[in-house]
A and B are shown apart, each in its own frame.
Chain A
Amino acid sequence: MAIFLQFITGGLFFGGMYTLIALGIVTIYKSTRVFNLAQGWMVTLGAFMLVSLVEMLGVVAGVIAGLAFGALLGLGIDRLLMRPLIGQPLTTAFLLTIMLAYIFEGINILVWGSFSYEMPVKLPGEPIRLGAVVISHSLLWGIGVAVLAFAAFSLFYWRTLMGRVMRATAEDHQTAQSLGLPVKGVFSLSWMLAGMLSIVGGLFLGVVSGVNMLMYGALLGAIAVVLLGGLDSIAGAIVGGMILGLIQSLVVGYLNPSLADVIPYIILLVILIIKPYGLFGLVRIERL
C-alpha cells in the first residue's frame, strides 16, 4: 500500500509535467493550428537556461529572468520563423518545429555539453511522512503548479477578453481578421505563453530529476498526452497528462521498467485507432 501511494504521487508528478508541456502545445495549436513538436525541447532548453540564470542572479531574479527568456524565445520563434510561413501549408510549419527541436538540442550540447546538472533551487517545505510512506514535497509542488496552471489557463480562456479573442481566432483565422481581431498578436501571445510554460515545466522537472539530455526522450511522450486529451482541449491536457503519468508509473512499478519509454506511444497508437480526436477534442467535419 505504501509503495502504491508512492507510485501514485510519482505518477501524478510526471502527469503534471506532461500537463505543463501539453498545455503549451495545446495553447499554440488552438490559436495557430501549428503542432509544436519542439515543446519538449523548449522545456529542456529552459531548464538548462534556468540552471545558468539562477546561478548568476539568485533564485527569485533567476526564475523571473528565466520566464522572460521563455517569453522571448516564444516571441522569437513566432516572429522569425512562423510569420514568414503564413500562407504556406500547415505541414510546413509542423516540419519546421521538428527541425527547430534539433536546433535546440544542438544549442544545448554546444553551450552546456552533455553533462547532468542539478537545479540550484530548493523548494520550501519538508517531505511529508504518512506512517511508512515518505512523499517528497517537490513532487507535490509539481502537481500543485500543474493544477494551478490548468486553472489559470481555463480562467484566462473563458473569463477574460483576451481569452475570448484567442478562442475566436482559434475558430477561424479569416473571420477573426475581418472582425478586426489582432490575429498576429494572438499568435505571438500564444507562443510567448507556451515559452513561459516550458520554463515552469523545466524548473520543476529539473528540481526533481536533474537537468540532462535524457529529458528529451521523456518529454516526447507528452505528444501522446495531447492526442489523448484532444488537440485543442485545455481540460484534455490535464486529464490526459494525469492518466498517462499514472499508467506509466504503475506499469514501471508493477510490470516492467523497460516498458517506460514505449508506453506513451502504445497509448498514442491505441487512441489514434479508437478515438483520433481524443477524449475532449473537437471533431472537425471536412467538406470538399
Chain B
Amino acid sequence: MDRPAGVFDIRYEQDMAVIRTGPQWIVLIGFLIFLAALPVFAGSYFLSFMVLTGIALIAVLGLNILTGYAGQISIGHQAFVAVGAYTTAVLMDSFHWNFWATVPMAGIAAAGAGVLFGLPSFRLKMLYLTMSTLAAQFIIMAFFNHAFPDYFHAVSGIRVNRPELGGIDFRENEAFYYVVMGIAVLMTFFSRNLIRGRLGRAFVAIRDNDLAGEVIGINVSRYKLYAFAIGCFYAGIAGSLHASYYRMVNPPQFPIDVSIWYLGCLIVGGMGTTIGVVFGVLFLRIIRELVVFISPILGSMVSPIDAPKIGPGLGLISWALVVVLFLIFEPRGLAHAWEVLKSRFRHWPFKYSL
C-alpha cells in the first residue's frame, strides 16, 4: 500500500484499513456529500447521465470481479443484465411483486444463470471459456425472444413501474438517482472489500496461474463458479435498475455490443482495480455523450444523405478506438496512470516515480 511519508501503522486494524489518513476521509466524505447534493444543482440531462453511469458502473463492477480478478473473460455480460431486468419485470408484471423485493431476486436469478453458463469452466479456460460466454449471450437472448411469450412479451416488451417507498415517489429522476447511486456506492464498497479477503486472493491466484493455485489448495472449479455467481449477481442488480429506469424491457436493449462496451470500460479503467472501474465507466460514458453532442455539428457540415450515418458510425468507432489505443499504449489502464500521477505528485520535485 502506497501512502504519504510519515504515516505509520501501529495496530493491525490500521494496516488493514482501506482509508488510512485524515485527508482521505475528508475526500471520501466530501465526494459522498457531492453525490448526494448533485440533484439540487444538476440539470435533468446531467442527472440521467449519472443514473446511466451508475447502472453501468454496477454491471462493470461485476465484470471486474469475473474478468479483472478471476481472469474469466466474459463477452456476454449484458445477457446477465438482461436476466436481472427480466426477473424484475416479470415478477412485477405477472406476479405483482414489490419492486424492492425484486431487486435481490434479480441478482440471485442472474447469479444462477451465471453459474449455469459458468459450468463449462470446469473443463475450459481462457479463449474457450470466453466462447462459452459468447454462446451464453446469444442463447439467453434467444430464450427471452422466443420462450414463454405470455410472460416475456418479446414483441411488445414489458412495462415496468417505478417504485414508491414511504411516501417518496421514485418516478422523478431526482429521487431515482438516489436509489441508483445508493446501490452503486454500496456495491462499490462491497466489491472493494470482497476481493481483499480469501475469496479475492483465490480469484487472483486462479487468474495468474490456475495450476499453481490448484497445487496450493484452491478448489479452482468452485472458485470459478463463485466468480461467475458474484459477477453475475452484480449484473442482475444492474439489470433490475435498468428495467425500472427505462420503465420498459424488451430484447433489443441487451445486444452483444453493450457486453463488449462493458469489457472496453474495464480495459480503459484497468482490469482488477476498483478505482479503474469507476474511471473507465466515466471515461467511456463521457466519450459517448461527446459523440452525441458533436455528431449533429459534424452532420450539418456534410450532405444530408451522409448526416444520419455520423452518429452511429462515430459512436462505435470512438469507444472502440479508445480501447484499442489503451490496449497498445497503456494496458494497465487509467488506474495505473492515476497511481503514476499520485506518485509524481508525492515525490515532486524528485524524478522518481512508479
Contact = CB atoms under 8 A, between A and B. Distances in A.
Contacts of B1: none
Given A81-B328, A103-B324, A272-B124, A110 B135 contact: no
B142 A262 contact: yes
Given A98-B263, A262-B139, A288-B211, A227 B316 contact: no
A229 to B, nearest CB: 13
Interface size class of B (residues with CB under 8 A): 35 or more
Interface SS majority for chain B: helix
Interface stretch (B90-98, B126-134, B226-234): B126-134
Interface stretch (A59-67, A85-93, A157-165): A85-93
Interface SS majority for chain A: helix
Contacts of B306: 113
Given A109-B313, A114-B312, A102 B260 contact: yes
Given A103-B316, A223-B134, A288-B215, A95 B267 contact: yes
A105 B328 CA distance: 20
A56 interface: no
Interface of B: 73, 75, 119-120, 123-124, 126-128, 130-132, 134-136, 138-139, 142, 145-146, 209, 211-212, 215, 257, 260, 263-264, 267, 305-306, 308-310, 312-321, 323-324, 327-328, 331
Most buried by B among A91, A92, A95: A95
Given A102-B316, A109-B309, A110-B310, A227 B260 contact: no
Given A106-B315, A272-B120, A81 B135 contact: no
A113 B307 CA distance: 10
A280 interface: no
B317 A276 contact: no
A110 B73 contact: no
Contacts of A227: 128, 131
Contact of A276 (B128, B136, B212, B257): B128
Contacts of B130: 94
Given A85-B328, A91-B73, A106-B313, A265 B135 contact: yes
B260 A276 contact: no
A91 B131 CA distance: 13
B317 A103 contact: yes
Given A90-B126, A107-B313, A113-B309, 19 more contacts: A91-B126, A94-B127, A99-B323, A102-B320, A106-B314, A107-B317, A108-B313, A109-B313, A110-B314, A259-B146, A264-B138, A268-B131, A268-B132, A269-B132, A269-B139, A272-B123, A273-B123, A276-B124, A288-B209
Given A103-B321, A268-B131, A268-B132, A276 B327 contact: no
A266 B320 contact: no
Interface of A: 35, 81, 84-85, 88, 90-92, 94-96, 98-103, 105-111, 113-114, 220, 223, 227, 231, 258-259, 261-262, 264-266, 268-269, 272-273, 276, 286, 288
28 contacts: A90-B126, A94-B127, A94-B130, A95-B263, A95-B267, A95-B323, A96-B324, A96-B327, A99-B260, A99-B264, A99-B321, A100-B324, A102-B260, A106-B314, A106-B315, A106-B316, A106-B317, A110-B309, A110-B310, A111-B309, A258-B146, A261-B142, A265-B135, A265-B139, A268-B134, A269-B136, A276-B124, A288-B212
